[in-house]
Structure 1
Amino acid sequence: MKKSQARSFLAIEFASSGVKFVKMTQSANRFDLVDARFVPVSLERDPEKQAELWKAAASEMLAGEDVKSEPVLLVVNTTQTCFAQFTLPKLPKKELEGTLKWKMKDQLPFPVEEAVLDYRLSEPEKIGKQLRCQSRVCAVPKSVVDRYSKVLSAVGCREIVLVSSIFSISSLASTLLQAKPSLVAVVDIGHSMTEIALYAAGRLSFLRKISFGGEVVNTCLTQSLVTERGTVSLTHEEAERAKQTESLFDPMGEHLIAAKVEASKLHSLIRPELERFIDELKRSFHYYAEEHGDAGLAAARVVEHVFLTGGTSRLGGMCEYLEERLDIPTQQIQLENELAIQSQARVKDLSPFYRLIAAVLDHPYVPASYAGHAARGMKRVLGKLSYKVVAIACALFLVAVGWILDFNYRRIVHARQDLRAQVDNLIPGYEAAQNIRSLERKLERAQILMSAILEKEPLWLELFKELSHSFPPEAVLESVTYGEGILVVKGRIDGTGDKASVSDLALAMEWPIFRNVNIVRTEQREDATYFEIRCLLS
């Protein structure tokens, strides 16, 4: 009996903290992790400089891989990802994507023409007299996909397969489906973003991304604290070590962290953001239950188990804390139970690579591009033929191409003559067409100018939301101005407010969209304390 040949899979993700890469092989029903690597990459404001940094990291990771003939899974994780599911009749493949885009147009915050779709279809079922299937669709902006695809193309990748979400967790049965709950939540806590995905019977049914992760925790841990030894704060490196070695959820710890801060203070520093995180999880679960439950099925739409993954999910005590606050069984995803890890991988923790590994395990359902299949099929066929047969086939192919080109040349000459006759008939209206074109150019210039002006404006709605969270009830906002990258906030604190109250307000504004918050002026009057605060925007 002939032994089946192992398939290899390459997957890469451009994350906010760096570039991640995994290589896996599949033989029969067994998956092996051959390599898993992470290269830190700093975020740059200049897109070209950022692309060069990503290119260098991708070149290092893909060195030695056959990226010209093997597909590369591009895993895209962005807050702009939109998810929806529909019931459709059975459609021809050429009509399917257009239909899905039309169905998604009301779900997207960006033009549907700019959407790149990643979707899965269930097996058609007969409903009434018509075959219908369930479609699960994710859409991401084309600009985001193109940005990463250009980097991969620059390092030699020929076939790039988009993976914008994990549509099925059926291949993670050893961990996620061992208790066979009808609805589970997979919470992937990364560096700057958390993905909340709900799976009904192993299939994606809800998707939401929120701004919470290791970056937020670092910002909280590096806040200044007033102690008996004066004002102290952890450095970024000390905060990273504390995340890895300390329990951030222990309010009783008395030992000092980096000889500066008591361990019990760490929880108070991150508690406000943890509360927001818990509220977002509860709100997502409740929304799903409201949207998908009814009188007879509401119980089946309640999340029965929460699984954590992602690098930040490994914080000491995080799992137990979420289980207590959510009152739902919570555990870590153990990816090592799903695949064999080869010695050269040398990975202690697979959590940061969850999306890549899960994308490969879900890959049998990913529609690969036609060009890649055709190229590999042609390579297999030509490998079995003799040189003489291949030479004759190539000669016949060239003759056919020459005949087609000659036929098309004659057709183009004839079409050009017809076009010239039509142009001669259109000359009287040429002057009017020139005037219309001139107006169009003026309109285009006006639109470009308007876009340039709007790009320099901040997101006022988000800005005022954050100000409302930061301002105490006794503080009154009098004016907000923005210019040359600097936000100026003026207001007063009524009653017995003092400079310390203004300092507390400035400290509360420090995150997430305000940076370098400085108190420019305070003035104590009889009725209130007046202040002026300046800061930068993230």
Structure 2
Amino acid sequence: MLSKLWQRQAPQMVGIDIGSHEIKAILLSKTADGYKIISHAAVPLKKGAINDHEIRDADAVVESLKLVKRALPSGAKLAAVAVSGSSVMTKVIYMDSLLSEEDMEEQIEIEADNLIPYSLDEVSIDFETLNVNSIDPTKVDVLLSACRTENIDARVELLHDVNLEAKVVDVEGYALGRSYEIVSSQLPEGVENKIVALVDIGANVTTFAVVENGETSFVREQTFGGEQFTQSILSFYGMSYDQAEKAKLEGDLPRNYMFEVLSPFQTQLLQQIKRTLQIYCTSSGKDKVDHILLSGGTSKLEGMASLLTHELDIHTIIADPFQGCLHADENVKKLLKPNISKYMVACGLALRSYSQWRT
């Protein structure tokens, strides 16, 4: 199914980030100087309900989504949700800038048929015009994306079960890249011409999005996250999973844990990030990225940002939308500020409400 070109302003949607450990949701309104949080929710998921990006226990996910729905305004009916980047095939193609909409769709179908190893009846296809081609100004760069329809339908049906309509199904990496809008002012002046890597460290997956000139140019996922840290605590100190998770969150760990558990985990995470940045540089021809913005529940581990700054020689900070252009009532801000960076993907999804819209 091919979407049409951008036509009108999008409706207001709740951004819902369905992770492997927790569901985060956020609803934003646009203000004169940014965006304001109208509503938010973070609800834990039953362990194993989502594994390797696949929904293994739909009933458990629905139960958590019901709690999310209760936290939202009664009038919130529309949502933007995302699928994992590993389930999406993407390719940048070059097309004549003077092509009509119908001709563009026909050419995209041909390109998709060559790219996708499945029948076109089994996939959903979308495309987005990016920029004028840097080599040939008579052409435009077009991002073609394709995903198995069953992966999309699974998330659409989950939302439908709690009376929410999925108006947009995005890709997690691109949603993360879009959230750069609300944190860009954290970085030094002149960042408009710099390359920024957003790194969202979740429970099981670390998502990367590289932004150049305001556009997301590279996305990737690595199966590594805070769950590995929990497992290290569990095995090293003989705790149960729940005890290890609680100790991690509350910082109630033995004095030597920094050397025994934290430092080895951070070294592993550093290697994951370094490897992905090398892949980006190789594929793009760039020497390095200029800044790194960390987000996600694991990003605030003690010393993580300074470790990356020192080891990679790249300016690294924790993303804090409240230091950017995200606003909230004081009570909401006080509640969310310690963990606001874990809402980056949800914010990126909610921002689809304020972009151009396809009919």
Q: Into which bin does the TM-score normalised by the smaller protein fall?
A: 0.7 to 0.9
Q: Which residue of 1 aligns with 2:217?
A: 205
- Say if 1:83 and 1:206, in contact at 8 Å, map to a contact too: no
CA contact (8 A) 1:243 1:315 kept: no
Sequence identity (%): 20
Question: Is residue 2:302 matched to residue 1:316?
Answer: yes
Residues 48 and 286 of structure 1: CA distance in aligned 2, closer, same or farther (over 3 Å): closer
Query: In structure 2, what residue type is equivalent to 1:144?
Result: N
The aligned counterpart of 1:33 is: 37
Q: 1:123 to 1:199 in 2, by over 3 A?
A: closer
- Match of 1:11? 15
Partner of 1:476: none
Alignment of 1:23 with 2:27, yes or no, is yes
State yes or no: 1:192 paired with 2:204.
Answer: yes
| Residue equivalent to 2:186 | 175
Give the partner amino acid of 1:244.
L
Q: Which residue of 1 aligns with 2:256?
A: 264
Note if contact 2:85-2:220 (Cα within 8 Å) is conserved in structure 1: no
Q: Which residue of 2 aligns with 1:358?
A: 348
Q: Could you tell me how far 1:66 is from its partner in structure 2?
A: 2.7
| Contact map agreement 2:16 2:349 (CA 8 A) in 1 | no
**Other structure's SS at 2:204 match:** coil
Paired AA for residue 234 in structure 2 = T
Q: Answer whether contact 2:81 2:166 (CA < 8 A) is retained.
A: no
Match of 2:283 in 1: 291
Structure 1 segments unaligned to the other structure (5+ residues) = 1-6, 225-231, 247-256, 371-538
8 Å CA contact 1:24, 1:33 repeated in 2: yes
Cα distance 1:291–1:143, how it changes in 2: closer, same or farther (>3 A)? same
> Partners in 1 of 2:126 and 2:91 — Cα distance?
11
- For 1:120, the equivalent position in structure 2 comes to 128
Q: Distance in 2 between matches of 1:364 and 1:147?
A: 25
Please, which of 53, 56, 61 is the counterpart of residue 60 of structure 2? Answer: 53
Shift of 1:336: 0.8
C-alpha separation in 2, matches of 1:45 and 1:199: 28
Which residue is equivalent to 1:236? 241
Query: 273, 278, 285: which is aligned to 2:270?
Result: 278
Query: Does the residue aligned with 2:30 lie in a helix, a strand or coil?
Result: strand
- Size of the aligned set, in residue pairs, is 335
C-alpha contact (below 8 Å) 1:85/1:135 kept by paired residues: yes
2-side partners of 1:111 and 1:151: how far apart? 25
1:405-432 CA-to-partner distances (Å, cap 9, x unmatched) read: xxxxxxxxxxxxxxxxxxxxxxxxxxxx
Alpha-carbon offset, residue 218 of structure 1: 0.7
Q: 1:144 to 1:88 in 2, by over 3 A?
A: same
Letter in 2 for 1:219: Q
Deviation at 1:274, TM superposition (A): 3.8
Cα distance in 2 for residues equivalent to 1:16 and 1:78: 14
Q: Which residue of 1 aligns with 2:312?
A: 326
Aligned equivalents of 2:321, 2:106: Cα separation in 1: 37
Given the superposition, is the C-alpha separation of residues 309 and 111 from structure 1 closer, same or farther in structure 2, using an over 3 Å criterion? farther
Paired AA for residue 360 in structure 1: A
Work out whether residues 83 and 137 of structure 1, in 8 Å CA contact, stay in contact via their aligned partners in 2: yes
Q: Deviations over 1:177-233 (max 9, x none)?
A: 744152111101011100111111221111110011111111111114xxxxxxx42
> Displacement, 1:104?
5.1
Instruction: Provide the C-alpha distance between the structure 2 equivalents of 1:109 and 1:327, rounded to a whole number of angstroms.
Output: 40
Which one-letter code corresponds to 1:320 in the other structure?
A: S
The amino acid that maps onto 1:134 is D
Residue type matched to 2:278 in 1? H
Q: 2:288 corresponds to which letter in structure 1? A: V
Q: Distance in 1 between matches of 2:58 and 2:31?
A: 35
Paired with 2:314 and 2:357, the residues of 1 have a C-alpha distance of 35
Aligned residues of 2:94 and 2:133 also touching (Cα < 8 A): no
Secondary structure at the aligned position of 2:87 is classed as: coil
Q: Which has the higher contact order (CA 8 A, sep 6+)?
A: 2
Q: CA deviation at 1:108?
A: 5.4
**What CA RMSD, in Å, does the superposition of the two structures yield over aligned residues?**
3.3
Q: Which moved more, 1:12-21 or 1:187-196?
A: 12-21
Instruction: State the alpha-carbon separation in 2 of the partners of residues 96 and 177 from structure 1.
Output: 39
- In the alignment, the residues of structure 1 paired with residue 12 and residue 354 of structure 2 have an alpha-carbon distance, to the nearest angstrom, of 12
Larger-gyration structure (1/2):
1
User: Does the CA contact (< 8 Å) of 1:9 and 1:25 recur in 2?
Assistant: no
Letter in 1 for 2:209: A
Range with bigger deviation, 269-278 or 355-364: 269-278
For residues 361-397 of structure 1, the C-alpha deviation after alignment (integer angstroms, 9 at most, x for no partner) is 35443534x2xxxxxxxxxxxxxxxxxxxxxxxxxxx
SS in 1 for 2:293: strand
For 1:35, the aligned partner's letter is S
Q: Gaps (5+ residues) in structure 2?
A: 1-10
Which residue matches 1:74? 81
Which residue in 2 is equivalent to 1:460? none
**What is residue 427 of structure 1 aligned with on the other side?**
none
Hey, what does 2:141 align to over in structure 1?
134
1:89 matched to 2:89: no
Q: Deviations over 1:449-508 (max 9, x none)?
A: xxxxxxxxxxxxxxxxxxxxxxxxxxxxxxxxxxxxxxxxxxxxxxxxxxxxxxxxxxxx
**1:158 & 1:116 partners in 2: Cα distance?**
18
Could you report, residue by residue, the CA deviation over 1:92-148 in whole angstroms, capped at 9, with x for unpaired residues?
Answer: 3345455445435666576655333454323557976x7422223444332221101
Q: What is the CA–CA distance in structure 1 between the aligned matches of 2:214 and 2:196, rounded to whole Å?
A: 8
SS in structure 2 opposite 1:33? Answer: strand
Write the distance in 2 (CA, Å) between the matches of 1:105 and 1:117.
Answer: 10
- In structure 1, the residue matched to 2:6 is none
Supply the distance in 2 between the matched residues of 1:115 and 1:177 (Cα, whole angstroms): 42
SS in 2 for 1:26: strand
Segment drifting more, 15-24 vs 57-66: 57-66
